Structures are given as structure tokens and as C-alpha cells.
């Protein structure tokens, strides 16, 4: 990651990938604290654009299989994984009896690590119902659990919605 300051920039911040390097352009007179904040915002925004581009409806199942293999020893095997638009108060849901997982379309456009977290969360419910210690233990190996939860809480706070539980069944 590389931050470039530009004297010509007065207010706008932008970011893009240049090969392996992520470049964030900021106004020259921005403070260090503002820089830090904006870099986080722009990295999330960039990741969100990429997740929108990459994760279509068809790719969700493949993504689920990959996450299950990587973090759950491949033990969670959903029968169906799909986006739904009728789920506005929760990010994801899972019906273990049917092996079905549904993700809210509101996640589309969020950073990829957030979508992955919700998907992994629902996959873990195929193995452990509820949110006891056994459940969270399953998510321990995913390094961005806390960050993703923080991101989603921020979204909820911003929208002033009630906290959406990622419930096991509808
Ligand atoms: Zn849950």
C-alpha cells in the first residue's frame, strides 16, 4: 500500500490498484489521523467494488465450499447457497435440516472479508446451532471475524436498524 499526497488535491481522496500495490491519493495537507481514517475507508471501498465484481450468484456455492475446506475442515456441506432480497433484518440465515444458506443481498458491495465472514458463520451453523462457545470456536481460525463483526455493527449503527441477528432459522 502506498499513500501519495498531492498538493493539487484539495478534498478528494481516491484509491486504485497498480499491479500488486494499492495506491491511495490524498490531499497534501491532510493530517496523519485523517490519512489513517481515509486509508481504511478507501481500502474497504476498493474491496467492496472487487467483491461486487467477483461474487455473483453462481459463485457463492464455490465460495462456500472453499471456506468450509479452509476453516471447517470441509465438514460443512450446504445443499444450497443463494442470495435473497427478502432478508432485511439479518445478514444471513441457515436451515440445517435443509442444508440451505441464504445471504442478504445487502451484503453485495460490502468488502469480501465481510461476505466471507457471514458465509462462514452460516456454514458453521450447519455444524453447531446457536452461539455458544463451541460455535465461536469454529470461527476462531478465520482471522477477520472481529473486524467483520465490527464492520457490520457499523453498518447497522449507521442505518439505525435494530441489531440483526444472524439467526439459524427463519
Ligand atoms: Zn449465527
Cα(118)–Cα(101) distance, rounded to whole angstroms? 10
Dist. CA 1 → ligand 1 center (Å)? 34
Poorest-pLDDT segment among 31-40, 72-81, 126-135, 156-165: 156-165
Asked if pLDDT for residue 166 goes beyond 80, the answer is: no
Look at residues 82, 149, 96 and name the one whose alpha carbon lies nearest to residue 125. Answer: 96
Give residue 158's pLDDT. 78
Claim to verify: residue 48 and residue 67 sit in the same structural domain: no
Claim to verify: residue 151 and residue 83 sit in the same structural domain: yes
Confirm whether 86 is domain-assigned: yes
- Counted domains in the chain: 2
Burial of 29 (C-beta count, 10 Å sphere; 0-12/13-18/19+): exposed
Give residue 167's pLDDT. 47
Element (H, E) at 145: helix 145-159
Claim to verify: residue 49 and residue 75 sit in the same structural domain: no
Confirm whether 92 is domain-assigned: yes
Phi, psi dihedrals of residue 16, rounded to the nearest 5°: -160, 165
Claim to verify: residue 34 and residue 99 sit in the same structural domain: no
Kindly report the average pLDDT of the chain as a whole number: 86
* pLDDT tens for each residue of 68-120: 999 999 999 999 999 888 877 789 999 999 999 999 988 987 888 999 999 99
Is 84 in a helix, a strand, or coil? strand
Confirm whether 165 is domain-assigned: no
Dist. CA 153 → ligand 1 center (Å)? 14
Confirm whether 164 is domain-assigned: no
Dist. CA 108 → ligand 1 center (Å)? 19
CATH number at residue 111: 3.30.2010.10
Confirm whether 136 is domain-assigned: yes
Claim to verify: residue 102 and residue 46 sit in the same structural domain: no
Claim to verify: residue 93 and residue 113 sit in the same structural domain: yes
Dist. CA 135 → ligand 1 center (Å)? 8
Dist. CA 91 → ligand 1 center (Å)? 10
The mean per-residue pLDDT over the stretch 12-23 comes to: 82
Dist. CA 167 → ligand 1 center (Å)? 5
Q: Of the residues 37, 54, 71, which one is the last residue of a structural domain?
A: 54
Dist. CA 102 → ligand 1 center (Å)? 12
Claim to verify: residue 73 and residue 135 sit in the same structural domain: yes
- Is the model more confident about 160 or about 167? 160
Cα(115)–Cα(158) distance, rounded to whole angstroms? 18
Domain range for 11 is 2-54
Dist. CA 132 → ligand 1 center (Å)? 10
Whether the model clears a pTM of 0.75, i.e. scores above it, the answer is: no
Claim to verify: residue 34 and residue 65 sit in the same structural domain: no
CB 151 within 8 A of CB 114: yes
Amino acid at each position: 500500500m502506498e499513500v501519495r499526497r498531492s498538493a493539487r488535491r484539495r478534498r478528494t481522496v481516491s484509491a486504485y490498484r497498480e499491479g500488486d500495490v494499492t495506491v491511495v491519493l490524498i490531499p497534501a495537507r491532510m493530517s496523519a489521523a485523517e490519512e489513517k481514517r481515509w486509508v481504511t475507508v478507501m481500502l474497504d471501498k476498493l474491496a467492496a467494488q472487487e467483491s461486487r465484481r467477483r461474487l455473483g450468484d453462481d459463485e457463492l456455492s464455490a465460495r462456500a465450499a472453499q471456506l468450509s475446506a479452509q476453516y471447517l475442515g470441509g465438514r460443512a456441506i450446504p445443499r444450497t447457497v443463494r442470495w435473497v432480497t427478502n432478508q432485511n433484518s439479518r445478514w444471513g440465515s441457515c436451515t440445517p435440516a435443509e442444508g440451505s444458506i441464504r445471504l442478504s443481498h445487502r451484503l453485495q458491495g460490502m468488502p469480501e472479508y465481510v461476505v466471507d465472514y457471514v458465509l462462514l458463520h452460516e456454514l458453521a451453523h450447519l455444524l453447531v446451532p446457536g452461539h455458544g462457545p463451541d460455535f465461536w470456536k469454529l470461527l476462531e481460525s478465520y482471522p477477520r471475524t472481529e473486524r467483520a463483526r465490527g464492520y457490520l455493527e457499523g453498518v447497522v449503527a449507521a442505518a439505525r436498524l435494530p441489531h440483526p441477528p444472524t439467526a439459524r432459522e427463519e
